[in-house]
Chain A
Amino acid sequence: MRPILIRGGRVIDPSRGADGIADVYLEDGKVAAVGRDIGSPEQALVLDARGKVVAPGLIDLHVHLREPGNEDVETVATGAMAAAAGGFSAVCAMPNTDPVTDNQAAVGFIVSQAQRAAKARVYPIGAISLGQRGQQLAEFGELVGAGAVAVSDDGKPVVSSHLMRTALEYARTFGIPVADHCEDPTLAAGGTMHEGIVSTRLGLKGIPSAAEEIMVARDILLAEHTGGHVHLCHMSTRGSVELIRRAKEKGLRVTAEACPHHFTLTHESCEGYNTNAKMNPPLREPEDREAIRQGLRDGTIDVICTDHAPHHYDAKEREFDDAPNGIIGLETAFGLAVTELVETGLLTLCDLVNRMSTMPARIFNLPGGTLAPGAPADIVIADPKAAWVVNPATFFSKSRNTPFGGRQLTGRADVTVVRGQVVYQRER
């Protein structure tokens, strides 16, 4: 493997509080050295990073790769490539595949597909319950042994508080987080967008904020009761942010994520019955969007994830009620984050890298998120000032379901390195 010298970039490493011009030298799949004017052997690949940011590769803790079962809309390989194009060196794949990833063979399958693709790393997340049916615990030990880094029934909430409790306790044995999709099924049933003035005008059944907050409160209480680590997926309401803030003040093992669409859009995007604005949890009110942004600033929300959810064009080309939930996000996340959070002065680039790389690695106990010597050579070289227009037709993802087509963004990944190999390099 050729060593790589990344020269002259602004190196941001929140894990060591570093932010300054430096070179980074990668050798044998690891970070060998970070410093000024590092020399390199002749055979090294030299990447000119002047004017760019050099950071540990981004890590997305929440994506849906649809393989096995729905390979027509995405596979582990295409998802891993889309991730790399977005600056991600690693993603965690949710288990709501078909069949569900609830056993070691299924976990092993994803691991091997990811190895074959050799793009971004893909860490499987195993199911909490068999078939995600919410009744019997899956074999966490086997799942972790095969490579799972967390468990979740995402797609669905864990309805039974008893099951959530036992999952949190049992997961402690293996040191993994339990990630919950917070949604009270009876309050949310039949709902297709946020319950508010827009849903009233459009005549669509709404999902009240309380549907999320009730489960957030429950999960926080159970985390307290069991001492387990609960990770709250895709937070969307100001009430949730407030609950998490208080839980962290008490020192509870509660972590939380938020998606770019929840800090960028509001329920107004559903006007005209735009199915690319339909996701779960839904887009909420401007005050909720603001609370998510503030939560990302003060650390109440630990990480940014995409909840990348590919769907076929035909599936979204339907009456709003019938369209499936979700949008893709791997290739727009960094640009949206820079445009909406950094350019507005809410976060510094260092804060952003923290939310998208260092913290994800830390809370899920993953390698990466740091440029300390000896760390894996997972790097992103990004241009934080690049102005570009989102064109879904050029995406590496198989799917195109995004509301951001045509949107002007600032900030883009230029090169992504995983295990010391360049897996993505943007064409000029």
Chain B
Amino acid sequence: MSALSLGKDLVGLEPLSAEQIELILDTAEPFKEVSERAIKKVPALRGKTIVNLFFEASTRTRISFEFAEKRLSADTVNVAAVGSSVSKGETLVDTAKNLEAMRIDMVVIRHGSSGAAQFLGQRIRSNVINAGDGKHEHPTQGLLDMLTLRDRFQRIKGLKVAICGDILHSRVARSNIWGLTKLGAEVGVCGPASLLPRNVHELGVTILPRIEDAIQWADALNVLRLQLERMESGFLPSLREYNRVFGVTTERLARAPKDLLILHPGPMNRGVEIDSDVADGPHSVILPQVTNGVAVRMAVLYLLAGGSPDWAQGGGD
């Protein structure tokens, strides 16, 4: 019996200890095996109701969570909610209360506002799992990235991982920075200075000015997707320039001093931040990341369900 618990919600990796993060990664291992079986189901969460509350469109994360939930025998409902409190009329508070009134056991939420997962978690008794809140965190992505690194390198401590791209707007970057530094890795950030937070060095990361520097330094690159809006809001001139200056290309990788592992949270902009040859090449672990994603999410749901609310008492407030 593990004595460590995760609490009620998973809102980010920043509040977790190294032990808690390792618990999740260790717990994900047996769940990898479940996904390899002919019958990809275990009864561990049988009868639990889980709502996937997605305020931002996301096919891959939602499907990954849905598989994780179903493989644990839970009942899942997908809600594609639109807009923010202001634009859609029903506040997040009301949405939360409605879910609680339906006695939902767990909510997986993706929302455009930083802090939304924590906001929800403070107001309902169900377990809340953050599937991405604004620019704040995407903890299960950070976890699956770490699991993938651990698979290949057998450790996290001392690994040099460079996160490349739009760090300023990236919740994946933040979750990775927290998770990796807590487990003793060295984290570097590489991107145009207009896309790096001014005080990013205060998070304990190394700034790598050019992609060539990152390639020389790192054991693994985590390549972030570049959003089109950044051009439109004046952070970057063009996708073409980004690829020419910061793109992870075969030519650049050829000059790496070691066999660099390439990660990408997806979906990829082929030819922008990463070339197709690299994405499909022998150093890429982009597909194993996806596989690990289901296992990690199963582990998180399994661990959180241990502290589920007792509906019999309480009687609703």
Contact = CB atoms under 8 A, between A and B. Distances in A.
Interface of chain A: mostly helix, strand, loop or mixed: helix
Nearest to B174: A203
A203 B203 contact: no
A314 interface: yes
A317 B84 contact: no
Given A202-B136, A203-B133, A318 B199 contact: no
B113 A321 contact: yes
Interface of B: 14, 84-86, 91-93, 111-116, 118-119, 133-137, 171, 174, 197-200, 202-203
A317 B91 CA distance: 9
A17 interface: no
Nearest to A274: B115
B25 to A, nearest CB: 23
B134 A321 contact: yes
Contacts of A205: 135
30 contacts: A195-B198, A197-B199, A200-B198, A200-B202, A200-B203, A201-B14, A201-B174, A202-B115, A203-B115, A203-B134, A203-B136, A203-B137, A203-B171, A204-B114, A204-B135, A204-B136, A273-B115, A273-B118, A314-B91, A314-B93, A317-B93, A318-B91, A318-B93, A319-B85, A319-B115, A320-B113, A320-B119, A321-B114, A322-B84, A322-B86
Contacts of A318: 85-86, 91-93, 119
Nearest to B12: A203
By size class, the interface of chain A is 10 to 19
A272 B14 CA distance: 12
A392 B84 CA distance: 29
Given A196-B199, A273-B119, A322-B113, 11 more contacts: A200-B197, A203-B114, A203-B115, A203-B136, A203-B171, A204-B135, A273-B118, A317-B93, A319-B111, A321-B84, A321-B115
B113 to A, nearest CB: 4
Contacts of B84: 319, 321-322
Contacts of B197: 200
A195 B133 CA distance: 19
Contacts of A320: 113-115, 119
A196 B118 CA distance: 21
A108 B119 CA distance: 43
B135 A319 contact: no
Contacts of B116: 319
Nearest to A204: B114
A272 B118 contact: yes
